[in-house]
């Protein structure tokens, strides 16, 4: 709950008869102290978050020669490489967001409401906490050890089912392989967010529904799912953003081989053959736009969810 | 309704398998360096590489610097926002959302452009890297400290202390910090895990941190990268376990960060 | 045969018995209250009637049918929860109509019934509001309407007023009672507030530690408590030990003075210790009127409570409260002075266990 600023005890009569809200005229001494306390934070944000973002925005209109141009943005849509990069990134993000949301929700449901013993819940939540942070390079190598040419699962399938998945065309170094790897940190995140949301479903709602004659179907269709929907959607969107901005995992797999937006931008930084800073900035800016839209939708859904579940 | 929850058990087991199979595979893989039998040879090789120690050491040092800077930035801000400037809260929260909107790769682009050339050259020093780490850890540090402050109603405590005659130093030392101990430690553990596992910033800014080191040996060798991955996982697990152990009894928080 | 019969119902949670051998017959149209402190088993018993807990053992028979094993959504009982439990994603009207919707009632009927209910609870304008936009009292009224909309055979209320302000509690409990009587719905009401129970019930069941302590009308429970617990839980009460002098004459010795009871000493022998209780309002100053018993005592404290003046007196080592109506012309004796108080024989209650 926001409370008004403390009104200094020595406020002069003119201040109070003026009717100014306390915040508008804080006491002199408190004023400078307070702002000093938060200044470093905002200074840091301005210097190292806003300025770089602005720089990206500005330079995305810069042509190779140094003048103003919209060509970079046109290139994003026209150059098939780049278009494909965006398409691939969006596809991977969408698949892993939906998959992560679906499986994560089912897992969370199983341990919270599904009748499993208490330890299952504690265990799953702890492990999800760890798994959602185990990403990047080590995760990539872990999956090479699992499903790569010499991976454990590959060998087991070969021995048990006499089926060489790699000969059949499977590879972890493509879209599907990457998606499977991304899922490793996607659906723990879903579990971690959905578990408290499922907890928040009050027992009395279920009982009231039953008492009024409803079955489990009625409860989920008319009460539980509608209440959970903002959180569900919001988290799915969060997962989308999570995958879209991922870099390390994909890079560890194949260097710059996989055609993802983050990889392409990274290649620009490392100075590849087609070095075109304007284009890089435009792509970077494109990412910022997409992520901002995601954040806005997520924030909106958060507010909606908070309104109902007091 | 006391039916056996088959559906739940199936999903639970499937979920566990998905989590554990890669871990077990990595573990198993890391033990197969020498043909025919399981040994810790891969680990031995890893520990013999001097660059293992140097890169780990660098990351450790930078982790500590990041933790300190992050604390210095976040704690006063969170405190003042709670106590005196609640109107600033939306702005602060906007800042903590920025690292998500501007992912690592993108941020580096901008950072290099502004701070990579005269007059303000930061990129030749680890400062740029530390800045990146701070940006990564900022949201979680802030959220941790903020909810810690809210949980103890720091405003009322401060007023009580003031009415009893305490000066600011006493208030900070005896009222605020002790009550924030858990939140601060949680934030620090998470920052530690983030920095140790971070790859993007270090790689693109060309610093010999632990993350790029793992990637490098990954492209050159087999088995040893998996051994190091196992160790990296252990570090992550210990950090998160530390956070969860600290936060026992409190409402759980979602903490995710780091390299993706 | 009564409308609702709760027969020999017990409930075990692991080792602990929450309810022990509960037996009650409820008549149609009656409002029975389960009254008792936290943990006495009243809510558990209510939930067994609703179907959220299973009696082990016991039977619940409603209108001739044994519903003990029926799931909660097939019992046709309406429940009002302590925490309202309104569905936050539905409007007030949708909440009220939910039970009917589930029963596949035609739209037109649902609409009409909802309007009836809204009128009943005096919230006609709030049909399209959401629960979070209403006050606590309003939300509880909606919860009541929602439970009544399905024309339940029994209405169950689980401490419905606990979460509300004192003022609202008083007005809302009267409203609930009025609606219940108007509709003639059989109801079971659970509360720990004895004033609530006394003011709205047809009968009260006082419970303690899982057992029924006493069943009776409010008048009976208050004036003729049968156990020490009931006597002390309902209203204020002076209790003390006294020694039997003559069981036939019902005379007792209290702090060296003699006091007469009207009954309750059958089976007691001379010299035996019993526990007696006297309501504060049954005492009066002997100077005002003389009754059967006159006792010497010292004034210790006088508290002015508005319409009542509460006088604390010392009888030897025992302290008693005496309540007398405020009277502007009343001359109260000074603190520390000696005086005489009086009460009738019937006012002296002999408590069993």
Convert the pLDDT of each residue in A167-180 to its tens digit. 766 777 778 888 88
Which range has the worst mean pLDDT, A194-203, A253-262, C241-250?
A253-262
More confident residue, A34 or C46: C46
Residue A277 has pLDDT above 70, yes or no: yes
What pLDDT score does C140 carry?
A: 94
What digits encode the pLDDT tens for the residues A100-131?
A: 999 999 999 998 888 888 888 888 888 888 88
Give the C-alpha separation, A81 to C56, whole Å.
71
Read off the pLDDT of each residue in B179-183 and give the average, rounded to a whole number.
82
With an 8 Å Cβ cutoff, are A223 and C72 in contact?
no
Which other chains touch chain B, taking contact as 3+ CB pairs less than 8 Å apart?
Answer: A
Q: How confident is the model at residue A27 (pLDDT cuts 50, 70, 90)?
A: very low
**Going along chain B, which residue ranges are E strands?**
none
Query: Could you tell me the CA-to-CA distances from A235 to A229, B64, B255 in Å, in that order?
Result: 10, 32, 14
Read off the pLDDT of each residue in B139-160 and give the average, rounded to a whole number.
82
Chain A positions in Cβ-Cβ contact with residue B244 (cut-off 8 Å): 126, 129
Question: Scanning every residue of chain A, which has its alpha carbon at the shortest distance from the alpha carbon of B230?
Answer: A138
Structure tokens at B252: 């759980």
Question: Is residue A290 classed exposed, middle or buried when 0-12, 13-18 and 19+ CB atoms within 10 A define those classes?
Answer: buried
Question: Scanning every residue of chain C, which has its alpha carbon at the shortest distance from the alpha carbon of A227?
Answer: C89
Residue B4: strand, helix, or coil = coil
Question: Scanning every residue of chain A, which has its alpha carbon at the shortest distance from the alpha carbon of C81?
Answer: A204
Read off the pLDDT of each residue in A43-59 and give the average, rounded to a whole number.
88
Choose the most confident range, by mean pLDDT, from A275-289, B147-161, C157-171.
C157-171
Question: Is residue C108 classed exposed, middle or buried when 0-12, 13-18 and 19+ CB atoms within 10 A define those classes?
Answer: exposed
Residue pair C326/C307 in contact (Cβ under 8 Å)? The answer is yes
Chain C positions in Cβ-Cβ contact with residue A204 (cut-off 8 Å): 81, 83, 85
Question: Is residue A25 classed exposed, middle or buried when 0-12, 13-18 and 19+ CB atoms within 10 A define those classes?
Answer: middle
Nearest residue, CB atoms, A53 vs list B102, B237, B251? B102
> Per DSSP, what are the bridge partners of residue C203?
C32
Minimal CA separation from A197 to chain C, in Å: 14
Residue pair C153/C186 in contact (Cβ under 8 Å)? The answer is yes
Which other chains touch chain A, taking contact as 3+ CB pairs less than 8 Å apart?
Answer: B, C
More confident residue, A133 or C130: C130
DSSP string, A14-25: HHHHHT--GGGS
Which range has the worst mean pLDDT, A8-22, A158-172, B140-154?
A8-22
Read off the pLDDT of each residue in A128-153 and give the average, rounded to a whole number.
83
Residue A17 has pLDDT above 60, yes or no: no
Taking the CA atoms of residue C193, residue C198, residue C201 and residue C204 in that order, the dihedral angle to the nearest 10 degrees is 80
With an 8 Å Cβ cutoff, are A208 and C81 in contact?
yes
Q: How confident is the model at residue B118 (pLDDT cuts 50, 70, 90)?
A: low
With an 8 Å Cβ cutoff, are A213 and C78 in contact?
no
How much is the mean pLDDT over chain A? Answer: 79
Give the C-alpha separation, C311 to C299, whole Å.
7
Nearest residue, CB atoms, A34 vs list B80, B106, B228? B80
Best residue of B69, B73, B109 to probe chain A, by most A CBs closer than 10 Å: B109
Exposure letters C136-162 (e unless 16+ CB within 10 A, then b) = ebbbbbbbbbbbbbbebbbbbbbbbbe
With an 8 Å Cβ cutoff, are A222 and C87 in contact?
yes
Tens-digit pLDDT string for chain C (353 aa): 789 999 999 998 888 889 999 999 999 999 999 999 988 999 999 999 999 999 988 999 999 999 999 888 888 899 999 888 899 888 999 999 998 988 888 999 999 999 999 999 999 999 999 998 999 999 999 999 999 999 999 999 999 999 899 889 999 999 999 999 999 999 999 999 988 999 999 999 999 999 999 999 999 998 888 888 888 888 888 888 888 888 888 888 888 888 888 877 777 888 888 888 888 888 888 887 888 888 889 999 999 888 889 999 998 888 889 998 888 887 788 888 898 889 888 888 887 75
Interface residue ranges in chain C relative to chain A, Cβ cutoff 8 Å: 50-52, 71-74, 76-79, 81, 83, 85-90, 98-99, 101-103, 132, 146-147, 150
DSSP string, C188-210: EEEES-HHHHHHH-SEEEEEETT
Chain B positions in Cβ-Cβ contact with residue A2 (cut-off 8 Å): 86-87, 89
With an 8 Å Cβ cutoff, are A212 and C132 in contact?
no
With an 8 Å Cβ cutoff, are C99 and A213 in contact?
yes
Give the C-alpha separation, C351 to C277, whole Å.
7
Query: Could you tell me the CA-to-CA distances from A126 to A189, B15, C186 in Å, in that order?
Result: 11, 13, 49
Enumerate the H helices of chain C as residue ranges: 42-50, 92-102, 107-120, 136-148, 166-183, 194-200, 218-223, 228-233
Residue B76 has pLDDT above 50, yes or no: yes
What pLDDT score does C120 carry?
A: 92
With an 8 Å Cβ cutoff, are A208 and C89 in contact?
no
Give the C-alpha separation, B66 to B126, whole Å.
11
With an 8 Å Cβ cutoff, are C132 and A205 in contact?
no
What pLDDT score does A19 carry?
A: 39
What pLDDT score does A10 carry?
A: 39
With an 8 Å Cβ cutoff, are A52 and B218 in contact?
no
Read off the pLDDT of each residue in B99-125 and give the average, rounded to a whole number.
79
Best residue of C50, C67, C70, C72 to probe chain A, by most A CBs closer than 10 Å: C72
Kindly state the percentage of chain A with pLDDT values over 90.
12
Distance separating the N- and C-terminal Cα atoms of chain A? 14
Minimal CA separation from C96 to chain A, in Å: 10
Give the C-alpha separation, C10 to C17, whole Å.
7
Q: How confident is the model at residue B119 (pLDDT cuts 50, 70, 90)?
A: low
The predicted model scores a pTM of 0.77
Q: Which of C17, C73, C78 is nearest to C45 (CA)?
A: C17
Structure tokens at C178: 């009025």
Strand ordering across the sheet containing C238-246:
C257-260, C251-254, C238-246, C273-278, C349-351
Residue C246: strand, helix, or coil = strand
Read off the pLDDT of each residue in A197-209 and give the average, rounded to a whole number.
89
Sign of torsion, CA C210 C213 C216 C218? negative
Read off the pLDDT of each residue in B129-156 and give the average, rounded to a whole number.
85
Residue pair C82/C191 in contact (Cβ under 8 Å)? The answer is no
Residue pair B59/B195 in contact (Cβ under 8 Å)? The answer is yes
The kind and range of the H/E element at B161 are helix B154-163
Strand ordering across the sheet containing C4-13:
C16-26, C4-13, C59-62, C65-66
Q: Which long-range contacts (CB under 8 A, 24 or more apart) does A149-154 make?
A: A150/B29, A151/B25, A151/B29, A152/B21, A152/B24, A152/B25, A152/B28, A152/B29, A153/B21, A153/B25
Angle of helix B224-246 versus helix B177-197 axis, rounded to 10: 170
What pLDDT score does B260 carry?
A: 61
DSSP string, C20-39: EEEEEEE-TT-EEEEE--TT
More confident residue, A207 or B179: A207
Residue A25 has pLDDT above 50, yes or no: no
- The set of residues, in sequence order, having a beta carbon less than 8 Å from that of A155 and lying 6+ positions away, is none
């Amino acid at each position: 709950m926001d409370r008004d600023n403390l009104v200094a005890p020595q406020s002069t009569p003119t201040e109070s008869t003026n009717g100014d809200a306390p915040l508008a005229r804080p006491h002199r001494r408190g004023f400078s102290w307070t702002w000093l306390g938060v200044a470093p934070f905002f200074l840091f944000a301005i210097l190292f978050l806003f300025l770089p973002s602005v720089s990206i925005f500005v330079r995305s209109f810069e042509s190779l020669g140094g003048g103003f141009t919209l060509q970079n943005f046109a290139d994003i849509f026209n150059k098939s490489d780049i278009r494909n990069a965006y398409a691939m990134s969006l596809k991977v993000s969408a698949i892993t967001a939906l998959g992560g949301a679906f499986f994560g929700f089912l897992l969370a449901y199983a341990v919270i409401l599904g009748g499993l013993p208490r330890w299952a819940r504690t265990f799953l939540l702890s492990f999800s906490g760890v798994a959602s942070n185990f990403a990047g390079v080590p995760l990539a190598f872990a999956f090479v050890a699992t499903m790569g040419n010499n991976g454990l699962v590959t060998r087991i399938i070969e021995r048990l089912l006499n089926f060489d998945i790699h000969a059949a065309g499977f590879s972890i170094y493509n879209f599907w392989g990457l998606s499977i790897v991304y899922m490793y940190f996607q659906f723990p995140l879903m579990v971690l967010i959905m578990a408290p949301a499922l907890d928040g479903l009050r027992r009395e709602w279920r009982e009231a529904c039953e008492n009024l004659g409803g079955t489990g179907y009625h409860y989920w269709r008319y009460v539980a799912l509608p209440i959970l929907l903002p959180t569900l959607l919001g988290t799915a969107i969060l997962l989308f953003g999570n995958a879209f901005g991922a870099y390390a995992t994909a890079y560890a797999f194949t260097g710059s081989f996989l055609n993802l937006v983050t990889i392409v931008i990274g290649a620009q930084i490392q100075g590849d053959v087609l070095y075109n800073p304007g284009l890089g900035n435009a792509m970077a800016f494109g990412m910022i736009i997409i992520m901002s839209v995601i954040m806005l939708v997520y924030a909106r859904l958060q507010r909606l969810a908070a309104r109902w579940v007091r | 309704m006391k039916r056996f929850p088959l559906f739940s058990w199936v999903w639970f087991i499937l979920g566990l398998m998905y989590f554990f199979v890669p871990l077990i595979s990595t573990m198993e893989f890391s033990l197969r360096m020498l043909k025919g039998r399981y040994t810790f040879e891969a680990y031995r090789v890893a520990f013999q590489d001097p660059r293992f120690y140097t890169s780990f050491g660098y990351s450790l040092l930078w982790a500590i610097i990041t933790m300190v800077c992050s604390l210095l930035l976040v704690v006063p801000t969170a405190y003042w926002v709670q106590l005196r400037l609640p109107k600033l809260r939306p702005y602060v929260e906007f800042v903590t959302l920025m690292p998500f909107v501007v992912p690592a790769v993108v941020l580096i682009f901008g950072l290099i452009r502004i701070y990579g050339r005269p007059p303000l050259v930061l990129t030749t020093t680890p400062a740029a890297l530390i800045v990146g780490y701070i940006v990564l850890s900022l949201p979680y540090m802030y959220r941790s400290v903020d909810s810690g402050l809210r949980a103890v109603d720091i405003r009322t405590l401060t007023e009580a202390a003031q009415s009893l005659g305490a000066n600011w130093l006493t208030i900070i030392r005896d009222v605020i910090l002790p009550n924030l101990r858990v939140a601060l430690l949680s934030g620090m553990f998470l920052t530690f895990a983030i920095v140790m596992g971070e790859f993007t910033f270090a790689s693109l800014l060309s610093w010999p941190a632990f993350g790029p080191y793992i990637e490098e040996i990954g492209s050159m060798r087999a088995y040893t990268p998996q051994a190091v991955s196992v160790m990296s996982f252990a570090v992550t697990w210990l950090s998160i376990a530390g956070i969860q152990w600290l936060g026992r009894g409190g409402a759980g928080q979602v903490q995710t960060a780091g390299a993706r | 045969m009564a409308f609702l019969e709760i027969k020999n119902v017990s409930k075990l949670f692991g080792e602990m018995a929450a309810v022990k051998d509960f037996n009650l017959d409820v008549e149609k149209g009656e409002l029975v209250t389960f009254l008792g402190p936290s943990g006495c088993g009243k809510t558990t018993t209510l939930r067994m009637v609703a179907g959220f807990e299973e009696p082990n053992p016991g039977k619940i028979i409603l209108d001739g049918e044994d519903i003990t094993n029926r799931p909660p959504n097939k019992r046709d009982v309406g429940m009002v929860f302590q925490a309202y439990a309104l569905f936050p994603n539905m409007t007030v009207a949708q909440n009220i109509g939910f039970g009917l919707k589930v029963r596949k009632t035609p739209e037109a009927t649902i609409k009409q019934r909802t309007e009836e209910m809204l009128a009943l609870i005096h919230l006609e304008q709030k049909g399209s509001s959401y629960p979070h936009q209403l006050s606590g009292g309003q939300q509880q009224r909606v919860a009541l309407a929602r439970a009544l909309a399905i024309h339940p055979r029994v209405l169950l209320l689980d401490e419905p007023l606990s979460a509300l302000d004192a003022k609202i509690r008083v007005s809302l409990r009267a409203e609930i009672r009025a609606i219940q009587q108007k509709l003639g719905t059989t109801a079971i009401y659970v509360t720990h507030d004895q004033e609530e129970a006394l003011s709205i019930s047809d009968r009260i069941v006082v419970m303690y530690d899982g057992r029924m302590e006493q069943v009776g009308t409010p008048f009976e429970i208050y004036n003729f408590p049968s156990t020490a617990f009931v006597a002390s839980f309902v209203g204020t009460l002076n209790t003390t030990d006294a020694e039997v002098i003559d069981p036939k004459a019902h005379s007792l010795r209290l702090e060296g003075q003699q006091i007469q009871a009207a009954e309750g000493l059958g089976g007691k022998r001379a010299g035996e210790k019993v526990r007696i209780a006297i309501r504060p309002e049954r005492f009066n100053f002997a100077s005002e009127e003389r009754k059967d018993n006159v006792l010497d005592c010292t004034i210790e404290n006088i508290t002015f409570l508005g319409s009542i003046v509460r006088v604390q007196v010392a009888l030897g080592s025992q302290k008693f409260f005496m309540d007398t109506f405020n009277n502007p012309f009343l001359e109260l004796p000074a603190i520390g002075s000696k005086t005489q108080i009086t009460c009738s024989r019937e006012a002296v209650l002999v408590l069993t266990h």
